[in-house]
Structure 1
Amino acid sequence: MLLNVSYNDKTRTQKIDAAVGKPFSLKERFNMGGIGSPKLYITETSIEIQNLLILDNNLNTCNIEIRPKGIIVRFRSLLETYGLIIPYYKLKIYKGDMAVYSIYKDHYFIKVKSDTKAIQKFFKKLLDYKADNTPTSIEDL
């Protein structure tokens, strides 16, 4: 789901927490070596996200937050912050040619450059965590 996450709203926060879990505690973040990605430069997106990004002339960047049951891809447009909330069971990540990672959820997608070792290390951490925490049956959801 694509949401405007600029402002604190209890119902929106509950919806996000239900989909991808509550944020990790400080101790868990430290043990994991961080849960956020470096700055990711967007190369291509689905039409819904592209319509938001073309509203301003800024450089299109995003970041990813790892949650217990999914990820949140955050990006800015004008003065608003938007989040693409993706549970692990709907998350598809592909590494394409020319150092590009593609992140898919249903009909949404974002392609980002992976031109540094830090970005590649983050995606390896994300894929390992996803493999360990994706539900294996419908009862686990």
Structure 2
Amino acid sequence: MLVNDSYNLPEINEKIDTEVGKQFGFKARWKLKGNGSPKLTIINASTEINTLLALDQNTNTCNIEMRPKGIIIRFRSLLETFAFVIPYYKLNIYKGESHSYTIYKDQNFVKVKATTNVHPFIEKVLGEKALQTPENPTLF
């Protein structure tokens, strides 16, 4: 789900909370040693996201927020903030050969540059995904 998250609209906040859960509380964030990524440089993105990023001439950057049932990738374009919401059961992360991570949900993706301080955060996300994924998932 890709939404404009610039304004504090209750219906959009409710959709995001339904998809990936409410924000972690203070104790949970402390236990996780933080639930947000450092600033990430976007190298490439799917067509839908790339059209939003191409609207301005700024450097394309994003950050990732962990939630109990998924992650949110936030980026800015034309003074608007967009949220790419990904539940854990649809999250796929691939490490590229050129020091990058590609984060997929269905047909949409964001490819970010992998710096040394990003690796522990991605491991934390993958660990949380493993905890949230059932051992014997049922097929629908």
Q: TM-score if structure 1 supplies the norm length?
A: 0.95
How many residues are treated as equivalent by the alignment?
A: 138
Q: Residue 18 of structure 1 aligns to a residue in which SS?
A: helix
| Distance in 1 separating the partners of 2:122 and 2:64 | 10
Report Cα offsets for 1:58-93 as digits up to 9, x if no partner: 000000000000000000001000000000000000
More helix by share: 1
| Distance in 1 separating the partners of 2:67 and 2:89 | 13
Specify every segment of 5 or more residues in structure 2 that has no aligned partner in the other structure, as ranges. Answer: none
Equivalent residue number for residue 44 of structure 2: 44
The one-letter code matched in structure 2 to 1:108 is N
Report Cα offsets for 1:99-135 as digits up to 9, x if no partner: 110000011000001022x101110111111111124
Over aligned residue pairs, what C-alpha RMSD do you find? 1.2
Task: Return 24-33 or 129-138, whichever deviates more.
Answer: 129-138
Specify every segment of 5 or more residues in structure 1 that has no aligned partner in the other structure, as ranges. Answer: none
Equivalent residue number for residue 115 of structure 2: 115
Q: Residue 42 of structure 1 aligns to a residue in which SS?
A: strand
Q: Residue 22 of structure 1 aligns to a residue in which SS?
A: coil
Equivalent residue number for residue 69 of structure 1: 69
Equivalent residue number for residue 31 of structure 2: 31
Pairing 1:80–2:68 present: no
| Distance in 2 separating the partners of 1:88 and 1:134 | 7
The one-letter code matched in structure 1 to 2:109 is F
Q: Residue 29 of structure 1 aligns to a residue in which SS?
A: helix
Tell me the percent identity. Answer: 56
